Structure 1
Amino acid sequence: MKRLTLLATIVATCLSSQTLAHDLGDHLPKKGEPTAVQMAHSGNTPVTKDNFIAAESDKYFFEQQEKSGLNQFTHDRILLTMETQTVVRQNRDTLYSKGIWDTRGGLEFSLPVLDTYQSLQVIDENHRTVAVIYAEQGKNSIRITPDMLSSGQHVWTVARTQVDANTPEAIAAGNKKQDMIQAKAQSTQPYKAKGFNQNDREDVRLSLEADVLKLDFTKGMGAPEGKAVHPAQNVKLRDVELFHARGMTSMGFGGLPSEHAFYKVLLAEDRSGACQTMTFSAPPVGKKGFFSITTYGADAYVHTDKYALSSREGELEANPNGSYTVNFNCGEDAINNIKVEPNWTGILRMYQPVSEDKIVSYAKGVKLPHSPQ
């Protein structure tokens, strides 16, 4: 019964037109309304649940190409703020570098060897992860060809570069690491939008948000279906099911497969804005792994300045026993307090787990935010 109550609550929230206390700028799309760029690429192909993944991927591909051009990265030089967000459910875990690339003739990526976390994820036109490489010896290069993709010849890439702290010096050091990412493409054929109807696509995306509590993240993201995977790709073959795959695509494009990161949706016991709390042990992540909690308003955008905490230095204070307590709207004196608005949601993100089995088991045991006892 409790699960059904939570589901009903989030469905109502997704469909709500409630005005948030902190309105966002005009650079962000309004809920249910495609942007001018999206409408400029809109066409006559209807979008249904059956072809939503292709339509949503298409949107991300043409939007990124408009921003960065072809075969080059656009680097985010600072961690995410309320003013710099561009899509739903972004986070400030790392510095991000994104681009659209043509794989025809071969496409090569390489990362430096670093003592901190840096990864590069390659995603095809069907939102399948073709490869994940790391800034580690033996795991830091990949060559992509069209035959490795489940659809098309272009890929969307996102590199994640961790910084030691949210300070000018640490950010500058992270920028230098971003500039060390290397790419070489042989073909310069631009990505062409597929002509999906953008109003349809947005309607379907919003309708899928009601499925969030039913999603199995281990079945939502994975390697291209029906393709052989070689070790350099560093991804698992897995059974990706349409229901979970399109739900994950609608929830946040570009999520990492479960062996590389895991995501737990945080739905509080009371989402009115009243004080809520949660305590959890440190997730089982590797030496360079890390974790964060990011919160969002009812429209899945950030609406407060203090909306997230990370295990990065200087952000998240541990309890004496090594566990962590995070509070939500419990006052400035509360440990690890995040400010949230009514009908908020959150995500616990855990990067580079020691194993998929261990992180999945751990996440199941994390108690959701609840009212203080």
Structure 2
Amino acid sequence: MTFKKSLITCSILGLGFALTACSTTSTETANQTSSTIEITEQNYAHAETARNYRNWVALGANQHITHMRNLPPRGKDAPTVQMNDDTLYSVAVVEAVDGMVTFEIPESDVYMAVQVVNEGGHGEHYVVGEGSYTAAIETDYAFLIYRTGTEKGLEAARTAQDKIETDTLKFGTYEVQDYDYQEVEAWTSTLTAETQGQVFAYTFPRTSKEVTDLHQWNLENANGWGGSSPEVNVANLYTNSVMLDAEQCQTTTFEEPESKYFTSVTPYDESRYLIAGANHISSNDWVTNGDGTVTVSFNCGSNAINNIDTNGQDFSFTVRYYGVSQKVMNGEIAPEKSVIKS
């Protein structure tokens, strides 16, 4: 594998500025409803994808790779719903060249993956580890999500981010799509609310041709846009629990998932955003029980095993299996289904 020696450095825009820019765009678009594209069941996934492209374009991601140097902000200050709390993000919005996108993952001593998300919201490709990759994509533009592991701390992750090279990427041509983004957000809120009373599993079909249930696909985009299509020992599987009461101590105990890379459990509020002050629990550092099983506790006190304190905020939790194992794919392990009140 060969790697170019040059390194593109980028100025990092603050998230406060980014959200100001997003809000301004949303207001201007809303005032032009006569010329905007109506949101329907058929185009919602494209519109929600355009909303996420737009939020990251406000951070400069269509001009250069945009690194998020810290864990994502809590609440709706985040540019994307249900963001990971266990990796740093780097994002590029780029044009495909002859239907292909070529990108590189540098050598590093932490987890690093790239997901290629097309304009329909499909993560067509998910690749892990050092190499140069060329991937076909079914739309004109791609949203590249670099996920960099924090298992060795933030500084190690930032060092790995700095090694990312973007010589092969075509920047500067993406234009924000003409949707009414207030309407898109209203659709997203409605679809998210529909799933709050149930355990929810994502399938994330890789292409438009693989969508067999349009409503399910829309629910997946509303609850966790940008998630990967599960692939044993490569890509990730995600599941959501039901909404849980923060006033009660609750636990879930499950067999070690044996993800190839790691597994994490992260709480979210009812709108699927991270909760202020709440941490995630990861297999990189969780404590196992004497029989090898894993117990994660929620709001059970600082002495409880693998405790997550949601600070009085009702929540659901998402389990992410990075490099999902076959037994998890087979449904043999399901922490979201085994929650008990203590």
Asked if the contact 2:114–2:144 (Cα under 8 Å) also holds between the matched residues in 1, the reply is yes
1:252 to 213, 218, 224: 224
User: How far off its partner does 1:203 sit?
Assistant: 1.6
Q: 1:137-196 deviations in whole A, cap 9, x for unaligned?
A: xxx32224xxx4333x1111111111334xxxx322221211222233464452122211
Structure 2 Cα separation of the partners of residues 365 and 108 of structure 1: 37
Residues 222-233 of structure 1 mapped to structure 2, 5 A cutoff: 222-226=205-209
Whole-Å separation in 1 of the counterparts to 2:208 and 2:200 = 19
Deviations 1:94-118 (CA, angstroms, capped at 9, x unpaired): 1111121111355320112445421
Measured in 1, the distance between the counterparts of 2:239 and 2:149 equals 20
* Conserved? CA contact 1:128–1:150, under 8 Å: no
Q: Structure 1 residues 56 and 370, CA, compared in 2 at 3 Å: closer, same or farther?
A: same
Using a 3 Å threshold, how does the CA distance of structure 1 residues 79 and 134 change in structure 2: closer, same or farther?
A: same
After superposition, the Cα gap between the structure-2 partners of 1:216 and 1:338, relative to the gap in structure 1 and judged at 3 Å, is: closer
1:216-274 deviation digits (Å, cap 9, x = unpaired): 522xx132235xxxxxxxxxxx5553122111111121101111111121226x52521
Match runs of 1:180-219 below 5 Å: 180-185=163-168, 187-212=170-195, 213=198, 216-218=201-203
**Alpha-carbon distance in 1 for matches of 2:211, 2:97:** 27
CA distance in 2, matches of 1:177, 1:293: 24
Q: Where does structure 1 lack aligned partners over 5 or more consecutive residues?
A: 1-24, 227-237
Give the match for residue 84 of structure 2.
Answer: 91
CA shift at 1:74, angstroms? 1.0
Match in the other structure for 2:315: 344
Q: Structure 1 CA distance, aligned partners of 2:172 and 2:38?
A: 26
| Structure 2 CA distance for aligned equivalents of residues 66 and 38 of structure 1 | 11
**Alpha-carbon separation, structure 2, partners of 1:332 and 1:27:** 36
Amino acid at match of 2:303: D
Match of 1:16 in 2: none
Further displaced range: 46-55 or 294-303: 294-303
Whether contact under 8 Å (2:239, 2:320) holds in the other structure is yes
Letter of the 2:306 partner, please give it: N
Give the whole-Å Cα distance in 2 for the aligned partners of 1:331 and 1:358: 29
Distance change (3 Å), C-alpha of 1:174 and 1:123: same
CA distance in 2 between counterparts of 1:155 and 1:240 reads 23
Distance 1:131 1:71, change over 3 A: farther
Deviation for aligned residue 1:293: 1.0
Instruction: Give me the whole-angstrom Cα distance separating, in 2, the residues matched to 1:257 and 1:66.
Output: 27
State the match for 1:61 in structure 2.
Answer: 53
**Counterpart residue type for residue 285 of structure 1:** S
Matches within 5 A, 1:130-279: 130-136=124-130, 140-144=131-135, 148-151=136-139, 153-165=140-152, 170-185=153-168, 187-212=170-195, 213=198, 216-218=201-203, 221-226=204-209, 238-259=210-231, 260-267=235-242, 271-279=245-253
Spell out the pairing of 1:40-55 with structure 2 (5 A cutoff): 40-42=28-30, 43=33, 44-55=36-47
Aligned to 2:4: none
Give the aligned length.
314
The letter of the residue matching 1:131 is H
Aligned residues of 1:107 and 1:184 also touching (Cα < 8 A): no
Q: Root-mean-square deviation (CA), in Å?
A: 2.8
SS state at 1:99 partner: strand
Match of 2:255 in 1: 281
Post-superposition shift, 1:360? 4.2
SS of the counterpart of 1:67? Answer: coil
Which residue is 2:123 aligned to? 129
- Separation in 1, partners of 2:170, 2:206: 24
Q: Distance in 2 between matches of 1:28 and 1:89?
A: 18
TM-score (normalizing by structure 1): 0.75
1:110/1:141 contact within 8 Å kept = yes
Measure, in 2, the Cα distance between the counterparts of 1:359 and 1:271: 28
